[in-house]
Structure 1
Amino acid sequence: MRYEPAPLTRHLRVRRDRGHTVLEFRGEIDIAAAAEMLPHLDLATAEPDARIVIDLTQVEFFDCSGLRLLYRARHRITDGAGSLRLVCAHPLTLRMLRITGLSRLLPPWPTLDAALEADLEQPESASGPP
Structure 2
Amino acid sequence: MGLLLSVRPGRGCTVLEVHGELDMATSPQLRKGLQRLVDAGDRQVVVDLAGVGFMDSSGLGVLVAMFKALRAADGRLCLAAVQPSVRSVLAVTSVDRAITVYDDVPAAEADAPAADGATGR
TM-score, length basis structure 2: 0.81
Change (3 A) 1:116 1:52: same
Correspondence 1:40 to 2:40: no
Q: 1:14, 1:73 → 2: CA distance?
A: 16
Q: 2:15, 2:107 → 1: CA distance?
A: 13
Map of 2:18 onto structure 1: 25
Paired amino acid for 1:81 = D
Correspondence 1:109 to 2:82: no
Equivalent residues, number: 113
Correspondence 1:78 to 2:71: yes
Map of 1:92 onto structure 2: 85
Q: Deviations over 1:86-111 (max 9, x none)?
A: 11342221111011110000121000
Is the contact made by 2:70 and 2:76 (CA closer than 8 Å) also made in structure 1?
yes
Q: CA deviation at 1:48?
A: 6.7
Q: 2:39, 2:97 → 1: CA distance?
A: 23
Unaligned runs of 5+ in 1: 1-8, 124-130
Correspondence 1:60 to 2:53: yes
Map of 1:11 onto structure 2: 4
Equivalent position SS for 2:73: coil
Q: 1:49, 1:14 → 2: CA distance?
A: 11
Is the contact made by 1:11 and 1:28 (CA closer than 8 Å) also made in structure 2?
no
Q: 2:111, 2:12 → 1: CA distance?
A: 12
Q: CA deviation at 1:49?
A: 6.3
Once superposed, what is the RMSD of the aligned Cα atoms?
2.0
Higher-RCO chain (CA-CA 8 Å, sequence separation at least 6): 2
Q: CA deviation at 1:77?
A: 0.8
TM-score, length basis structure 1: 0.76
Q: CA deviation at 1:36?
A: 2.1
Q: CA deviation at 1:112?
A: 0.5
Paired amino acid for 1:74 = F
Q: CA deviation at 1:53?
A: 0.4
